[in-house]
Amino acid sequence: MEHIGIDVHKNQSQVCILTPEGELIEKRIVTDRGRFAAVFGSRPQARILIEASTESEWVARCLEELGHEVIVADPNYAPMYGHRSRRVKTDRRDARALAEAIGGAALGRASALGIVAMVLIAVFVANVMTEFMSNTAMANLLIPMFLALTAADAGGSILPALGATLGCSLAFCLPVATPPNAIVYGSGHVPLTAMIRAGVLLDVGCGLLTWAGLLILAG
């Protein structure tokens, strides 16, 4: 999907288009319904960011009628301009900052989806490996690893490390996994195959509950 920033003014507007291939297209157009229709009517559905202004309401409505997703943002929202240059302010630079901001928001959503998957992986990697190793040793191995993996992602999320921490406590399949498992197996009342069958169901069920619980708590 294309990401577009438009610096809207009463007479003329500056447009910056970032294509999925990374191409940057910049143009200046007359702020007029007919001109917006001519420029954006034939383009594939895009995500467009414009600043709130006296012209933004009708411009947003016009672009939405053309099939695009439009976001009207507060120009004072500083995080929106994480890539804005410190050089002299111009319409061209503002339009490019808007396009980069909406493109960055899409990357942020993708990053968030990556964290969701990584939490799931962390829970079940810890779950499986702790069946054969000490819970403490497994936690000492996995927690630093997942913290390092997410150090540059989603603001350094600790969710995968938390998932690994909790996953280390979910070991229900084998007698060697935890002392309680060894006690139950040693009683002679529970065959190994029965313990494994029940343990797999508990591992999967508790792992999914842990994963969902962490995501809910994180909001």
Domain residue extents for the chain: 2-108, 110-218
| Domain 2-108 falls under CATH 3.30.420.10 | yes
Q: Which positions ≥6 away from 212 have C-beta within 8 Å?
A: none
Strands (E), 42-143: 46-51, 69-73
In degrees to the nearest 10, what's the CA dihedral of 178, 183, 186, 187?
-150
What span, in angstroms and rounded, lies between the C-alpha atoms of 52 and 60? Answer: 10
Look up the pTM and report it.
0.47
Q: Which contiguous run of DSSP H or E holds residue 215? A: helix 192-218
Closest C-alpha to 99, from 141, 169, 50, 133: 50
What span, in angstroms and rounded, lies between the C-alpha atoms of 27 and 53? Answer: 20
Helix (H, G, I), strand (E, B) or coil at 16: strand
Tens digit of pLDDT per residue, the chain (219 long)?
788 888 888 899 999 888 887 788 888 999 999 999 999 998 888 888 888 788 888 999 999 999 998 888 766 554 444 444 444 556 667 676 777 666 655 445 445 557 788 889 999 999 988 888 888 888 888 888 887 776 544 445 788 889 999 998 888 888 888 888 889 889 988 899 999 999 899 999 999 999 999 888 876
| Residue 51, beta-bridge partner list | 73
Q: How far is CA 115 from CA 101, 122, 214, in A?
A: 21, 10, 11
